């Protein structure tokens, strides 16, 4: 199939979907009967969490979210020629031939609230669709070992689809002051300050703590300003012992997703 033909097909489907969505707002039943098509889409999950892992400031892995949409129970008076998923009125459409497969797996690589359109098309170009809301959050796991100058952790809350902003940034950070020499000691306490900085490098929140040798301290907090980038930093106020840092940061969204079925 030529690129021009593919582009024309996608444009035509997009126009039809936009028209159908605007004319069926609020009608999200799995049992819609439109021109002989009863669209039934099964999905176990409509939310998930992307996990990004960092070690000593270096990004080591990302686990994206995959959601499956099963069209196998869809009924049509005519021959079905296409099942598809369109995300946020994007130009890209994930589609399959019903004669070959009935499940579409969609990968989400960035946090956000997504409005996807699931559709079925028959050989007379009749098309039936339904809207499904997806919630994708992001968790950042950050580990640093044996450091006296912890690397700041950047937090970027903006969704790539420019949609609904996150509802909160949830921080759970632990600092450990390991024993300098096992079974002997020899180290001392360190005094540190956590700071959550905004784009102007002002501290939105902060916490001071003394961490004694062989012990740890934790800072748990929630921040509701998600319209700016932030930076989570740890500074030494006193002491020279090496510390271990374990940050867990969740970019959380309101629970707007469609119910699983």
The CATH number of residue 196's host domain is 2.60.40
- Residue 40 in any domain: the answer is yes
Are 153 and 108 part of one and the same domain?
A: no
260 occurs within a structural domain: no
Q: pTM for the complete prediction? A: 0.83
Task: Tell me whether residue 33 is in a domain.
Answer: yes
Question: Are residue 230 and residue 191 in the same domain, yes or no?
Answer: yes
Reported as a single tens digit per residue, the pLDDT across 23-36 is 333 333 344 445 68
The domain tally of the chain equals 2
> How does pLDDT run across 166-206, given as a tens digit for each residue?
999 999 999 999 987 654 455 689 999 999 999 999 999 99
Q: Are residues 70 and 164 in the same domain?
A: no
The 3-class secondary structure across the chain, one letter per residue, is CCHHHHHHHHHHHHHHHHHHHHHCCCCCCCCEEECCEEECCECCCCEEEEEEEEECCEEEEEECEEEEEECCCCEECCCEEEEEEEECCCCCEEEECCCCCCEEEEEECCCEEEEEEEEEEECCCCEEEEEEEEEEEEEEEEEEEEECCCCCEEECCCCCCCCCCCCEEEEEEEEEECCCECCCECCCCEEEEEEEECCCCCEEEEEEEEECCCEEEEEEEEECCCCCCEEEEEEEEECCCCEEEEEEEEEECCCCCCCCC
Query: Are residues 130 and 94 part of one domain?
Result: yes
Range of the domain at 73: 3-47+65-135
- Which of 96, 113, 135 terminates a domain? The answer is 135
54 domain residue, yes or no: no
Co-location of 160 and 243 in the same domain: yes
* CATH number for the domain that contains residue 29: 2.60.40.10
Together in a domain, 116 and 17: yes
């Amino acid at each position: 199939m030529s690129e021009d033909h593919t582009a024309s097909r996608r444009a035509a489907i997009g126009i039809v979907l936009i028209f159908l969505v605007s004319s069926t707002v609020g009608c999200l039943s799995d049992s819609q009967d439109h021109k002989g098509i009863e669209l039934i889409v099964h999905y176990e999950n409509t939310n998930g969490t992307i996990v990004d892992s960092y070690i000593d400031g270096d990004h080591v892995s990302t686990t994206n979210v995959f959601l499956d949409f099963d069209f196998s129970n869809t009924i049509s008076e005519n021959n079905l020629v296409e099942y598809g998923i369109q995300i946020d009125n994007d130009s890209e459409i994930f589609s399959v031939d019903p004669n070959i497969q009935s499940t579409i797996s969609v990968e989400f690589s960035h946090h956000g609230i997504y409005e996807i359109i699931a559709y079925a098309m028959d050989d007379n170009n009749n098309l039936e669709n339904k809207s499904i809301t997806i919630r994708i959050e992001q968790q950042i796991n950050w580990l640093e070992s044996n450091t006296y100058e912890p690397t700041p952790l950047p937090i970027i809350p903006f969704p790539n689809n420019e949609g609904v902003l996150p509802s909160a940034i949830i921080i759970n950070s632990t600092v450990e002051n390991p024993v300098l020499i096992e079974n002997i000691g020899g180290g001392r306490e360190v005094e540190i300050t956590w700071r959550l900085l905004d784009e102007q490098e002002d501290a939105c929140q902060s916490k001071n703590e003394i961490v004694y040798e062989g012990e740890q301290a934790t800072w748990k907090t929630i921040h509701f300003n998600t319209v700016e980038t932030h930076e989570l930093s740890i500074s030494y106020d006193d002491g020279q012992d090496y510390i271990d840092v374990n940050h867990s940061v969740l970019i959380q969204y309101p629970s707007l997703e469609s119910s699983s079925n």
